[in-house]
Amino acid sequence: MAMEILYESALDIAKWIKGREVSALKVTDAFLDRIEKVEPSVRAFINLYGEHARQRAKLIDEGIAKGEQVGPLAGVPIAIKDVLSTRGFKTTCGSAMLEDFVPVYDATAVERARAAGTIMLGKANMDEFAMGSSTENSFFGATSNPWDLERVPGGSSGGSAAAVSAGEAPWALGSDTGGSIRQPAALCGIVGMKPTYGLVSRYGLVAFASSLDQVGPLTLNVRDCAALLGAIAGHDKCDSTSIEEPARDYLGALSVDIKGMKVAIVKELSSEGIDPAVLERIRATIDILEKLGVSCDEVSLPSFENGLSSYYLIAPAEASSNLARFDGVRYGYRAGGEFNDIWEMYDATRAEGFGPEVKRRIMLGTYALSAGYYDEYYAKAQKIRTLIVRDYGRAFDDYDLLVSPTSPTTAFKLGEKMDDPLTMYLSDICTIPVNLAGIPALSLPCGLAGGLPVGFQIMGPPLSEQKILNVAYALEQEIGFDPRPAGLEKM
């Protein structure tokens, strides 16, 4: 039974559980068995909560047996990125600073996923405080890509993406600050969506860059993505940036009828610096769109050439402010020893508690915000951000959606870029403009290049999630991508 459940749609699993064709406990055991088998090689999780999952599965089975009302996703296991607060369960953010931290409340996205009936299997690995593009910056060790265990799964939601790709969970929650859902989804051959800024509550999401962060789903297919997004989206009074937008039935409105739509590929995201093998798959996917009756063109958005530079000033600046709370006084790690004053204790705690990439970004951000350089760097970066928003706006006056590669390359080797931060930062060149503009985007697997997955990014104006999902769904039916990594199945 286990192998029949693995890689099945989360929605199908929910239907089987409700119809009592299989119990929630058997489903949970199947995924826990899978985790036990492949986790030593993949290392997608920081902490596992198998007994908790089994107990919750039993309660769901008992409720169904009694005819009680259960959530629409009742009994479906889920992996949660370890940047989302989980009451009573460790939330480490992949950092020594929070190695033993146990929150007293749930993130709203976690709470809503639980209310829909999902069962948390564990907390997924990630780059420390979501700062990275490869999940190699975790205090708990790197995660491997299920398609090739010697390669990265992407980041910072690499643990969430790898867990879904490896069949350890049917879906997962991640967070996206500069591409941290879409890029690992692309590298692991699954679907990942970054919603419109404010559509999903950030309450309980440990902040990296507050004006950029968004919570979103990572799934095996588009239908599951629509269902999970619908479960976690909607206004939240606990989040001051939450849009007063009612919850929508993205799944119910899903359609493959996209004939007559106008789409454009972004020139600046699909030329220099993009692997030719990746571009070949992107162009083949655009050909499919045209066969489906979609008008496809090319558009130039000049401000995008400065998007990466803008992001790596704005995001570190916000991070330097957000991470100031980790001082060893209120919670989290505190350095031991005797200190002459509180400043010495701060220095020692941060020197020991933060990893190299986090320190690098704090220093970049503090420098950019300093009195002598604020106008020269941070203020200019914000002006570029405005230009990016305007470029998107002009493009969406003429086109329904924009497309590009999700990542400039397929998954690279573990350790290949760790000593070259600037090269690592280029991994997000296609995804960053979306976060700067606050618009929605989805990565869809569109085939293989050199035996590794390629992601096709679909971008839309604010609150165009349904339109994006519909195009992705239509493409998915035509592409027929198999998300199961062949090498891992031999284990």
CA atoms within 13 A on the CB side of 218: 43
| Distance separating the N- and C-terminal Cα atoms of the chain | 18
Q: Which range, of 69-78, 105-114, 187-196, 335-344, averages the lowest pLDDT?
A: 335-344
SS3 of the chain: CHHHHCCCCHHHHHHHHHCCCCCHHHHHHHHHHHHHHHHHHHCCEEEECHHHHHHHHHHHHHHHHCCCCCCCCCCCEEEEECCECECCECCCCCCHHHCCCCCCCCCHHHHHHHHCCCEEEEEECCCHHHCCCCCCCCCCCCCCECCECCECCCCCCHHHHHHHHCCCCCEEEEEECCCCCHHHHHHHCCEEEECCCCCECCCCECCCCCCCCEEEEEECCHHHHHHHHHHHECCCCCCCCCCCCCCCCCCCCCCCCCCCCEEEEEHHHCCCCCCHHHHHHHHHHHHHHHHCCCEEEEECCHHHHHHHHHHHHHHHHHHHHHHHHCCCCCCCCCCCCCCCCHHHHHHHHHHHHCCHHHHHHHHHHHHHHCCCCHHHHHHHHHHHHHHHHHHHHHHHHHCCEEEEECCCCCCCECCCCCCCHHHHHHHHCCCHHHHHHCCCEEEEEEEEECCEEEEEEEECCCCCHHHHHHHHHHHHHHHCCCCCCHHHHCC
Q: Is the pLDDT of residue 490 over 90?
A: no
pLDDT at 339: 93
pLDDT band, residue 330 (cuts 50/70/90)? confident
Task: Specify the pairing of strand 191-194 against strand 441-449.
Answer: antiparallel
Distance CA 220, CA 207 (A): 27
Q: Choosing from 23, 85, 134, 156, which is the catalytic residue?
A: 156
Rg of the chain over all Cα atoms, to the nearest angstrom = 21
> pLDDT confidence of 491, banded at 50, 70, 90?
low
CATH number belonging to domain 2-264+400-489: 3.90.1300.10
Strand 171-176 and strand 214-219: pairing?
antiparallel
CA 327 to CA 335: how far, in whole Å? 10
What predicted TM-score, i.e. pTM, was given to this entire model? 0.96
Distance from C-alpha of 434 to C-alpha of 465, rounded to nearest angstrom: 13
Is residue 123 pLDDT above 90, yes or no? yes
Distance in angstroms (rounded) separating the CA atoms of residues 116 and 70: 8
Query: Is 267 a known active-site residue?
Result: no
Is residue 180 part of the annotated active site? The answer reads yes
**Residue 319 near residue 366 (C-beta atoms within 8 A):** no
Token couple for 275: 């692997």
The per-residue pLDDT for range 82-107, each reduced to its tens digit, is 999 999 999 999 999 999 999 999 99
Model confidence at 1: pLDDT above 50:
no
- The residue from 18, 81, 194, 467 that is catalytic is 81
For residue 487, pLDDT beyond 80: no
**pLDDT on residue 148:** 97
Residue type, 38: V
- Percentage of the residues of the chain whose pLDDT score is greater than 70: 99
Q: How confident is the model at residue 374 (pLDDT cuts 50, 70, 90)?
A: confident
CA angle, 223 then 227 then 228, to 5°: 120
Catalytic residue selected from 134, 180, 320, 427: 180
Whole-angstrom CA distances from 390 to 433, 468, 483 are 11, 20, 36
Tell me which amino acid residue 257 is: D
Asked whether the predicted pLDDT for residue 284 surpasses 80, the reply is yes
Locus of tokens 């692309």: 186
- Band of residue 245 on the pLDDT scale cut at 50, 70, 90: confident
Active site residue 26: no
Q: What is the pLDDT confidence band of residue 489, given thresholds at 50, 70 and 90?
A: low
What average pLDDT does range 300-312 have in this prediction?
A: 96
Give how far Cα 373 sits from Cα of 209, 364, 368, 409, 424, Å: 20, 11, 6, 34, 25
Mean residue pLDDT across the chain: 96
- The per-residue pLDDT for range 440-466, each reduced to its tens digit, is 999 999 999 999 999 999 999 999 999
Predicted confidence (pLDDT) at residue 152 exceeds the cutoff of 70: yes
Confidence of residue 3 (pLDDT cuts 50, 70, 90): very low
Most confident of 129-133, 331-335, 339-343: 129-133
Contact 246, 384 (CB under 8 A): no
What are the structure tokens assigned to 478, written together?
Answer: 């035509």
